[in-house]
Chain A
Amino acid sequence: MTAFWVLAPVLVLAALGLLFVRKAVHAALLLAVVMISLAVLYAVLEAPFLFAVQIVVYTGAILMLFLFVVMLVGVDASDSLVETIPGQRLSAGVVGILLLVLLLLGFGQLGLGAAQSLGAAGGSDNIRAIADLLFSRYVVAFEVTAALLITAAVGAMVLAHKERLEPKRSQADLAAQRVRDFSQRGVHLGNLPAPGTYARHNAVDTPALLPDGGTVPGSVPRVLVARGSVRDVGGFASSPGSGDGGEQGPGPKSPAAELVEAQIEERAWTRPADDADGRAAAPPGVSDPDDGHEDAAVTGDAGEQGEES
C-alpha cells in the first residue's frame, strides 16, 4: 500500500492540473503522469498484463497520438480561459462535487464480502490465466475487437484524407508568384534579410541592424514578431559596453519589436503566405496595393514582361 499512498496524491494533483493548465501540451504531459501512475497501481493490484498494456497502449500509442494532433492543430483561441457561458464553470464544479458524493455513497452501499486472493488464478503471475480466459470465454468479444480496430483504422484514414482541390504549386509557380508580386505590389524579390549575428546572441529573434542603428524589417520571422518575442537590440546599437544583454521574454513589446512590426506593416516586405497545403491566405498588404511603390512597379515591368511570356 505504500506505492498507493505515494502515487494517489500525484494522480489527483496531475488530474486536477488537467483542468487548470492553459496549454494542451501541458495537459497531455499531465495525462502521461496519470497513465504511468495508474500502470504502477495495476502492478500493485497484481495485474502485470494490464501494467504492460497500460504503458504500451496508453502512454506509448494514445498519448503520442494526442501529442501529434496537438502539434498539427497548434495553438488557437480554444486555449483561452474566458468563460463563454456565464456561471458554467461554477455550476460544473458543483455538479462534479455532487457526482463525487454520489459515487462515494454508492460505493459505501457495497457489501464487498471477504477479500479473496488471486491465488486460484495463478497468483501475481496470472498472465497465462488471462490468456486462457481471453481465448476461451471471451474469444467472440476478442474477435469483434479485431473488427473494431480495423474499422477504426480505416475510418481514421478516410477522415484524415484530403482531396486536393487545386494542382500542387511547383517551385516554378512559386517563383513566378514572387516575380508577379514584385511587379504588381513591389514586394521585395530576393531572400528575406538574415537575422542579426552578434557576439552573444545569434538566434533568429535578434533583428539585424542598419548603419543608422535601426533594425532591418523582415529580419525576424513573422511568428516571433506576432508573439512579441523579438530580442531588444538597443544595447548593441547605442552603447555596446553597457553590459546589459537586453534579455527579454515574451512580455511587453520592446521598442525594437514595435519598430520591426511597424516597418513590416508599412512596407510589405514579407512574401505572401504560400502555405504548403494550398490554403488561400490573404497576402499581407493586399488592402492597399499601391502605397508608395511606384518606383518598384516601374522597375518591375521588365520582370513582368518576361514572366508573362
Chain B
Amino acid sequence: MDSVTPFVVLSAILFSIGAVGVLIRRNAIVVFMCVELMLNAGNLALVAFAYHHGGLDGQVAAFFVMVVAAAEVVIGLAIIMTIFRTRHSASVDDASLLKW
C-alpha cells in the first residue's frame, strides 16, 4: 500500500457520493453543491498524485479546476436565480420546458 492510496480511495468515495447527490436531489442549489463536491474529489486526487510523483503539475491543475469551478458557480447560481424569479421554484423538476 502506498501512502497516497487512502487519499485516492477517499477521493473516489467523495466523487461517488457527489454523483448520487446530483441524481437524487431535487433542489437545484443542492445539486450544484454536489457538483462542487465532485470537483473537489477530483482536486484531491490531483493533489494526491502530485504528491506521489513529486511534481507540481497536479497542484497547478487543481488550481485551475478551482478557478473554473468559481466561474461555473457564479453563472450557475445566476441561472438558478433567474429561473426562480420566473417560475418561483428552485426544483429541477419544474424547469422542464425544453424536455421534448
Contacts and interface: CB of A to CB of B under 8 A. Distances in A.
B2 A84 contact: no
Interface stretch (A86-94, A179-187, A215-223, A227-235): A86-94
Contacts, number: 229
A14 B9 CA distance: 16
Interface in A117-133: 117-121, 126, 129-130, 133
A49 B56 CA distance: 11
A42 interface: yes
A51 to B, nearest CB: 10
A224 interface: no
A276 interface: no
A271 B61 CA distance: 56
Contacts of A113: 53
Contact of A19 (B24, B69, B88): B24
Residues of A contacting B: mostly:
helix
Interface stretch (A56-64, A206-214, A240-248): A56-64
Contact of B14 (A5, A12, A50): A12
B26 A38 contact: no
Given A4-B7, A12-B10, A57-B66, A121 B54 contact: yes
B47 A148 contact: no
B10 A8 contact: yes
Residues of B contacting A: mostly:
helix
Say which size band chain B's interface belongs to. Answer: 35 or more
Given A96-B16, A97-B16, A49 B59 contact: yes
A96 B23 contact: yes
A4 B78 CA distance: 36
Interface residues of A, number: 81
Contact of B59 (A73, A88, A130): A130
Interface in A95-131: 95-97, 99-100, 103-104, 107, 112-113, 115-121, 126, 129-130
19 contacts: A4-B6, A19-B24, A28-B29, A38-B44, A42-B47, A45-B7, A45-B51, A46-B51, A58-B66, A66-B33, A69-B81, A77-B89, A78-B27, A107-B12, A115-B3, A118-B51, A121-B56, A133-B60, A155-B75
Interface of B: 2-10, 12-21, 23-30, 32-34, 36-37, 40, 43-44, 47-48, 50-57, 59-60, 62-64, 66-75, 77-82, 84-85, 88-94
Interface of A: 1, 4-5, 8, 11-12, 15-16, 18-19, 24, 27-28, 31, 34-35, 38, 41-42, 45-47, 49-50, 53-54, 57-58, 61-62, 65-66, 69-70, 72-73, 76-80, 84, 88-89, 92-93, 95-97, 99-100, 103-104, 107, 112-113, 115-121, 126, 129-130, 133-134, 138, 141, 145, 148-149, 151-153, 155-156, 159-160, 162
